[in-house]
Amino acid sequence: MIGYQVKDGVAEILLNNPPVNAITVAFLDALMAALRRADADPDVRAVTIASALPGRFSAGLDVPTFLRGTPEQAHTVVNMLYVQLHELQASLGKPTIAAVTGAVRGGGISIAITCDMIVAADDATFGYPEMEVGLLPAIHYTHLPRIVGRYRAFDLLFTGRTFDAREALELGLVSRLAPQSQVAAEAHGVARVLAAKSPTLMRMGKRGFTRAIDNGYRQGAGSAVDLITVVSTTRDGREGMQAFAEKRKPVWSAD
């Protein structure tokens, strides 16, 4: 599910869960294990996270598994994505760069935003389609309005529309753009620049930066996990996920 190699002091982590890098407990376990491995390796000074699948960074949560699971299982996977992965990245003493190519949706964006920088392909596409499949992009309620403003955040989160990499850059959601064929090289180049800096200063600086920008993220993340868990048990939550699994339009309740 997760590839790992070290090159020039940079750990390159590859998401590889065909066909769409759907997010499951096993997938997140493997991703976090790779991050811990990089953190423990003194020869690693920076990390990149990219997709091994052409045209897809991650489609987000694995909805069919979510549909079949219990509320406790839903809570587990969302807590791993929203809280544990964020905490691991925040405590990592090494910078991480997401190299985003293809389509990135919902939970896939949740993975990317745990990184310190995001380099995106100029033809990448983004979106928060959770409401269409019976879920909510709850974690993004915490951070997105602070980046793009209340009204633009509401637009993106509640319409679920797809937007391109240029708009993502203009909104401040990604750090840099590069041609699709050069995204990995661009991310690796940035990682090498960061890897050349003092590891002590990088570790201390990243810790201070993370504290400064937290702005209640941890509290918001816990509330988001609870909200998703409850939503997954509602009539419309179940209907949205069932409709997605059956490839049909959902029939929402009147209330």
**Active site (catalytic) residues:** 130
Beta partners for 98?
49, 118
Residue 134 · residue 238 · CB < 8 Å: yes
Task: Cis check for the bond before 250: say yes or no (omega within 30 of 0).
Answer: no
Strands 125-127, 163-164: parallel, antiparallel or unpaired by DSSP? antiparallel
For tokens 């407990």, name the residue.
25
**33: region left, alpha or beta (phi > 0 left; psi from -120 to 50 alpha):** alpha
- Sequence-ordered list of residues with C-beta below 8 angstroms from that of 122, at least 6 positions apart, any chain: 165, 166, 177, 178, 179, 180
How far CA 254 is from CA of 130, 132, 133, 235, in Å, comes to 19, 16, 17, 11
Token readout for 159 is 């319409």
- Chain-centre distance of CA 117, in angstroms? 12
